Amino acid sequence: MTQTAIVGGTLVDVRTGKTTANTTVLTDGERIAEVGPADRVRAPAGAKEVDARGGWLIPGLTDMHAHVRSPGLLPVYLAFGVTTVRDPGGSLTRSVLLRRDVAEGRRIGPRMFIAGPILDGIPPLWPEMTLLVDTVERAEAAVRFLAAQEVDFIKVYNSVPERSLDAIVRTAHKLKLRVTGHVPRSLTMTRAIEIGMDGLEHVRVTGREMLSPEEAAKLDYLPVRRREAMLWERFDLSSPKFTALVERIAKKSVFLDPTFVVDAAPVRTDEERERAERMDGLPDWIAETIRPARAARDAADPNRVMEQPQDVMELGRSGLRKRQQFIRMCAEAGVRLVTGTDFTGLGDDLPGRGVQQELGYLVECGLTPLAALRASTITAAAALGKEREMGAIERGKLADILVLDKDPLAEVRNIAAIRAVVHGGRATTPAELLAAPPPEPETPYAR
């Protein structure tokens, strides 16, 4: 087995925030074998040594909302510190086989947790990657089918009827699968939580939860960008209804994935957009892969979900700020937050780098850098049901570790200063991961 010694770094305990200088981490195969003072923990003969002196050691990051549509970009996630991704919707066969390729070492990339196709009612927003669950019978059958295909979780979408959602959750939980997704537009977030959803993607509070029936009827089924701008203009975060909602999310231990990266993209100024999408210093092959993928995505989107109508642009920006206030309320109440980007479903940042941006948004909400880091490590691991396997630098856990040149607890954006990436016990550098596009495996399905 491969052995690696990460020598002399300052260990960040993401549970407590405690830092321990001059720490060495030994890995044996894909797991952490020992963690301790560098003068006590010695590298065995033949182990690969990673010099972490003067640096900081944190667990690898997690993108909890990453639509993996360009397999060639998987190493880019690692280069930007993301060692685990959760794919909440796409081709079932491709997702299953990509996950297997990565797990068996045929592809370099982050660990993958997959949902396969999303479950939606009528009308489905993305029919080409949807299983229709407009009846209870179809809902139960869809979950059983996906479980047989060994997906890791279930993703629900906008038009799922209430009875179908109840059937999905009951069936999934019997089969030991968690359910996350959008709050169906015909329901409230509170009702979705009561039915038993384990996670919520995006910050999608419906009008029927907070407004009069007349106002909600006018707004809840508008196109997403107009709808969200107009809803959040009307929402009163100081109202008892919002207080009760936050308390309910916390009490039910629901995982909330705000995906600020994707909500911020449509309301950016031209300067902000150019800065976010900049690829300065990166190899040409990355831009040559990403730009056609974005163009194909946009051309295939009849819903224009990333276009912010100009007449509600300012409302969209103020709505984003109110959503950040809502997330601050959630954090203060103990809601379990995770980090997701929606790349390349809707997000426009680079794979992996979007998680760094999302951490910055969480700090803007009022979270400390440590609290933001937890969202992408130990809390993400808990949301995946893998808290015993990953999310912290501890003996026996998977050896997914970043060596940073700057202190992430002083400034969360220091997470971008990556010296080395250890993934499954194998050490590499961002430069090595980005040097050239990875070779395609012989299997034709992945092309």
User: Would you say residue 441 lies in a domain?
Assistant: no
Instruction: Examine the pLDDT at 268 and tell me if it is beyond 90.
Output: no
Q: Same domain, yes or no, for 169 and 241? A: yes
Instruction: Look at residues 338, 369, 389 and tell me which one is the last residue of a structural domain.
Output: 389
Chain-wide mean pLDDT for the chain?
Answer: 93
User: Would you say residue 436 lies in a domain?
Assistant: no
Residue range 177-223, pLDDT digits in tens: 999 999 999 999 999 999 999 999 999 999 999 999 999 999 999 99
pLDDT-based confidence at residue 447 (cuts at 50, 70, 90): very low
Q: Same domain, yes or no, for 299 and 421? A: no
318/140 Cα distance (integer angstroms): 40
Phi then psi for residue 191, to 5 deg, are -65, -40
* Domain that residue 115 falls in: 61-389
Q: Same domain, yes or no, for 265 and 181? A: yes
Sign of CA dihedral 275, 280, 281, 286: positive
User: Would you say residue 113 lies in a domain?
Assistant: yes
pLDDT recorded at residue 240: 98
**Once rounded to an integer, what is the mean pLDDT over residues 52-69?**
97
User: Would you say residue 444 lies in a domain?
Assistant: no
Q: For residue 226, which amino acid is it? A: R
Q: What is the CATH classification number for the domain harbouring 141?
A: 3.20.20.140
Q: Same domain, yes or no, for 351 and 410? A: no
pLDDT recorded at residue 392: 99
Residue range 377-404, pLDDT digits in tens: 999 999 999 999 999 999 999 999 999 9
Residue range 64-122, pLDDT digits in tens: 999 998 888 999 999 999 999 999 999 999 999 999 999 999 999 999 999 999 999 99
Q: Same domain, yes or no, for 265 and 398? A: no
User: Would you say residue 203 lies in a domain?
Assistant: yes
User: Would you say residue 273 lies in a domain?
Assistant: yes
Instruction: Examine the pLDDT at 348 and tell me if it is beyond 80.
Output: no
**Once rounded to an integer, what is the mean pLDDT over residues 348-375?**
94
Instruction: Examine the pLDDT at 443 and tell me if it is beyond 60.
Output: no
Instruction: Look at residues 337, 370, 389 and tell me which one is the last residue of a structural domain.
Output: 389
Residue range 3-20, pLDDT digits in tens: 999 999 999 999 999 999
Asked if residues 87 and 417 have their Cβ atoms less than 8 Å apart, the reply is: no
Q: Same domain, yes or no, for 41 and 67? A: no
Q: What is the CATH classification number for the domain harbouring 24?
A: 2.30.40.10
Q: Same domain, yes or no, for 276 and 303? A: yes
Q: Same domain, yes or no, for 154 and 278? A: yes
Q: Same domain, yes or no, for 397 and 363? A: no
User: Would you say residue 150 lies in a domain?
Assistant: yes
Q: Same domain, yes or no, for 30 and 90? A: no
Instruction: Look at residues 339, 363, 389 and tell me which one is the last residue of a structural domain.
Output: 389
Q: Per the structure, how many domains does the chain have?
A: 2
Q: Same domain, yes or no, for 385 and 398? A: no
Q: Same domain, yes or no, for 413 and 267? A: no
User: Would you say residue 81 lies in a domain?
Assistant: yes
The partner residues of 179 in beta bridges, in order of sequence, read 154
